[in-house]
Amino acid sequence: MTATIAADRVVGARVSVARSYRFELVKLVSQWRIRLLVLLCWTAPALFVAAVSQQSSLPVDTLFGRWMHATGWAGPLVTLGFAGTWALPLLTSVVAGDVFASEDRLGTWRHLLVAVRSPRRIFAAKALSSLTVILLLVAGLACSSAVGGVVAVGNQPLVGLDGHLLTPSDAAGMTMLAWACVLAPTLALAAVGLLGSVALGRSPMGLLLPALVALAMQLAQMLPLPVTVRLALPGYAFIAWNGLFTSPPQLGRLLIGIVVSLVWAVTATALAYMLFLRRDFTNLTDDGSARRAVTLGALPLVGLLAVTVGVVAVASPATGSGIEQDKVQRSVATAFSHLYRMQTRQLNRPDVTEAQLRATATCNKGGGKLAAEGPGNDWRCVVTWHLPDVEAAGSAIYQLDVTPDGRFVADGDGPKEVNGYFLVRTSTGDAPNPLWQFDGNVELLHTTKG
């Protein structure tokens, strides 16, 4: 009699969330592909950054790529740009996109339900274990790339996107903060992966869903969409972190992007939870209703996108593309002033402040034949500045390529002694000319002069 009662207690006992979480975490990290991803994320970025930093040609088309010879903190930012575009969507697909579908393929749902005795705890354990692995992978990418850059190049100051110089400690803090900010869109993609894994079951589309969503958002960011639509996409924080590297930081877009990403993460996770609780686990061939996947999965996310577009449109002051003539002119003039001082120090000339320079920029688009607004590679700016005790003003020409997200590359077009050549001759030898080409950022939401 006593043995029977004890056996009933054992069978009827419910496994806690903590114990289920440990079990699911062990299941994840025991998979060879997860172990391989952990190894790659904690080693490959360091090797990549160290190798590229020693090359004569740098990835100048990538944000901060042109500074990889100058400071070790450019490497992790180059890695961050690549990770937001490709690595993080693929990582969330492999981890979160397969965490539920693997049970469908193996046919182990009934065994798991008998052991845990609660679909709610199963969902919580699987979601938390996948989140833990994703955080471990992101931490590996950030730490590995930072160590590789600092060891290979050194703990040197970093040139910001408006030309101002960040001290090594500030550069380190902002770099780690930028990596922390992309956790929000990563969580949004992970939640989409959970939803796809639950809704699509053993179908490979569930595994690919986060990557496909990220690809769709990248294509959308390349289109000339209104800035309000751009900000409402859950992956916008993958590119909005660059606002941290201006003075003062351009936080408006970044904060909106983080909030939108977190709203998507919570919504998609809640939808996945609802779908999971409605699953019929007694039928091994039933891995979810297609109609239910559409009505409780896809349609609510489409509605969420429409709502966020409306909320952002009401809350933000920007209209159109957000790229306007006065904003471009201010950004170019500010960056030129900071970089001119850097060139002055390289050439051992008397120091001059930004206030003394009084740099201004006059920009047009399409040779003045087009409206001076919106993205394009046909912007042209003439920068004018003044030196103390010099009556004549200096001037320099730049050709600008402005992307839809507000980033621009300014290419010097003369005079040669200012920005017409990529090297300047210093007392210690030839050095890169900071005024030859430089990156900048237009504040899409800012409408008043700062």
Task: Give SS3 for 83.
Answer: helix
42-86 pLDDT per residue, tens: 999 999 999 999 998 899 999 999 999 999 999 999 999 999 999
185-218 pLDDT per residue, tens: 999 999 999 999 998 887 788 889 999 999 999 9
Report whether pLDDT(447) > 80: no
* Cβ neighbour number for residue 328 with a 10 Å cutoff: 25
CA 25 to chain centre: 26
Q: What is the mean pLDDT of the chain?
A: 91
Q: How far apart are CA 341 and CA 329, in angstroms?
A: 19
Tell which residue, 166, 139, 140, 141, has the closest CA to residue 155.
166
Query: What are the angstrom distances between the C-alpha of 254 and each of 257, 440, 448?
Result: 5, 16, 19
- Local confidence band at 389 (pLDDT 50, 70, 90 cut-offs): confident
Instruction: Identify the bridge partners of residue 158 per DSSP, sorted by sequence position.
Output: 166
131-162 pLDDT per residue, tens: 999 999 999 999 999 999 999 999 999 999 99
Tell which residue, 386, 320, 85, 325, has the closest CA to residue 217.
85
Looking at residue 205, its pLDDT comes to 81
- In sequence order, which residues have a C-beta less than 8 Å from that of residue 128 and are 6 or more positions away? 17, 21, 24
The torsion of the CA quartet 330, 386, 158, 60, rounded to 10 degrees, works out to 70
Q: How far apart are CA 277 and CA 302, in angstroms?
A: 22
Report whether pLDDT(7) > 80: no
Q: How far apart are CA 245 and CA 18, in angstroms?
A: 40
Task: Count how many Cα atoms sit within 13 Å of the Cα of residue 255 in the half-sphere of its side chain.
Answer: 7
Looking at residue 376, its pLDDT comes to 95
- Structure tokens, 210: 């986060």
Contact predicate 79/145, CB 8 Å? yes
